[in-house]
Structure 1
Amino acid sequence: MSPISNRRGMTLIEIMIVLAILGGIMALLLPRLTGQLDKAKAKEARIQMGQIVNAISMYYTDCGKNPSSLENLVKADANCSNWGPEPYLKKDPKDPWGHDFVYELNGNEYQLKCLGKDGREGGSGFDADITLEDIQ
């Protein structure tokens, strides 16, 4: 039997170097990936707002008025005799960040807004509000 002195394997230093290289690559790529994710969510919010606007338009056609809340697009509205038969939206609308859309009815006009990534009024970048003017 010959001694096992010819075994080759990775030393701890070699493993640490490989991990450091992988960590450096991830540090460079991660901000780009998260930025792309936020960009995709902002686009998704605009698409969802377009779908809500279409649902409000169908509700208006059936009921002759705008809904008092977005809930009236999901559940039957007692103040509308011609509602449905299918809901205008399948579920309560949430923006891609999990926040409620802001819907305000003033007379015959309405405002629809997504509060952005931070879920608060105002902001800049991906925290900025998305309004109807932004999707048209």
Structure 2
Amino acid sequence: MSQPGRPHIMAVFLPIAFVAIGLVVWLGIRGKHDPGAAQVHADFARVLAALDVYRAEHGSLPEEGDLSFLVPKYLPEVPKDPWGHDYAYASNGQSPFLQSYGQDGLRGGNGPNQDHTNHDGHAVLKPR
């Protein structure tokens, strides 16, 4: 029980905790802003749709390499990421893996240098 005239510890602690949590979330979101992410995932959606049609016609996907096997029948051209780099492609024959290494073209990074894959919470081509 709190003493008269002294604020209850929770009345002081809770507002400070909410401000601290909000600040951590805001800084985390702010630090990860990536203006190219929307274009990367739009490209992934187009490529995944083309890969789905290719797989339906051929029974499986090539295991790795570039995406030139999709041109011109499935895509008019092989897209580049927003920074001019080729997308990395690999597959187990059924499930494709696409990746952009971000603005710097190197693995890892934050903000515009952050890597993106088709398995990071966006549309994924389902195995048949």
What band does the TM-score fall into relative to the shorter chain? 0.5 to 0.7
Evaluate the alpha carbon distance shift between residue 128 and residue 40 of structure 1 in structure 2; reply closer, same or farther with a 3 A threshold.
closer
TM-score scaled by length of structure 1: 0.58
Once the two structures are superposed, residues 43-78 of structure 1 have per-residue CA deviations (whole angstroms, 9 ceiling, x without a partner) of 011100111010000000111111344111015xxx
Q: Compute the displacement of 1:101 (Å).
A: 0.1
Structure 2 unaligned spans of 5+: 1-32, 124-128
Q: Compute the displacement of 1:110 (Å).
A: 2.6
Q: Which has the higher contact order (CA 8 A, sep 6+)?
A: 2
Sequence identity, in percent?
35
Whether the 8 Å CA contact 1:60–1:67 is kept in 2: the answer is no
TM-score scaled by length of structure 2: 0.61
User: What is the CA RMSD across the aligned residues, in angstroms?
Assistant: 2.1
In the alignment, is residue 43 of structure 1 matched against residue 43 of structure 2? no
Larger Rg: 1
Structure 2 counterpart of 1:118, one-letter code: D
Q: Compute the displacement of 1:132 (Å).
A: 1.1
More helix by share: 1
Structure 1 unaligned spans of 5+: 1-37, 76-86
